[in-house]
Amino acid sequence: MDVLIKEFSRDISMTSGVTITNVIVSLLLSFLLCLLMSKVYSITHRGVSYSQSFVQTVVIMGVTVSLIMIIIGSNIARAFSLVGALSIIRFRNPVKESRDVGYIFMAMAVGMACGTHFFLVAAVATVLLSGIVLAMHHMDFGAREAKEIMLRIQIPSSIDHEATIHKVLKKTVNSFAIVSIDALGKDQMKELLYVIEPKRKLEPEYIIGEISKIDKETKVSVILGQDSVDL
């Protein structure tokens, strides 16, 4: 076994100029830094589209990119071979959140830095980027002061929604927009979907109560947190 390890180490040193120690350090550091990054992702994630597999993929991607950079080294032929191999792969999984793309690039950058032995750069970049993400999370950076919510209303088809629902909304919300109108089969009902921006200090329950007064068959439901819900 010792002979095999020595031969393997000698082959690596002869072909790429790196030692087995460098390989282990690069992969291990990449693993630890991407582990920290994925933990930050778990802490700061909002919404219902959380994926454990994506968190694990961030770690795996960072380590894999680090290994690829070690293998390529300064060999241009290997780099072109890698591009050719990746060109036949088709990635069909849609990214649900644009923020996830940022984590993918962060993992790739850390992996590349570790694979090329820029260990300090990788460590400093991970700490700084993680700090930036945590700061934006706690500051709620980019959030609008007025929250938009979705309003789903079912009313009889005979009722003019513009003369009834719109009249209520003009009194209770700052702005509203109708998203869709659907007929509900044989029940002679229709379903309307609105995006509304309630007035300050006005609870959604009040809006529901006002719309429910239109007709005894009226059904109203609210979807809160539209920005973080996948429809």
pLDDT at 178 > cutoff 90: no
| CATH placement of domain 149-226 | 3.30.70.2690
| Range 55-72 average pLDDT | 91
Give residue-wise pLDDT tens across range 20-42: 888 899 999 999 999 999 999 99
Residue 121 has pLDDT above 90, yes or no: yes
CB 222 within 8 A of CB 151: yes
Work out the average pLDDT over 138-149. Answer: 76
Per DSSP, what are the bridge partners of residue 181? 192
Terminal-to-terminal C-alpha distance of the chain: 56
- Name the DSSP class of 199: P
pLDDT score recorded for residue 4: 46
The 3-state secondary structure of 132-153 reads: HHHHHHHHCCCCCCCCCEEEEE
Supply the pLDDT for residue 10. Answer: 52
What global pTM score does this model have?
A: 0.65
Lowest mean pLDDT among 27-31, 110-114, 137-141, 142-146: 142-146
From CA 58, how far away is CA 225, in angstroms rounded? Answer: 26
What confidence category does residue 114 fall into, taking pLDDT thresholds of 50, 70 and 90?
very high
Let me know: does 65 contact 111? Beta carbons within 8 Å.
yes
Residue ranges covered by each domain of the chain:
2-139, 149-226
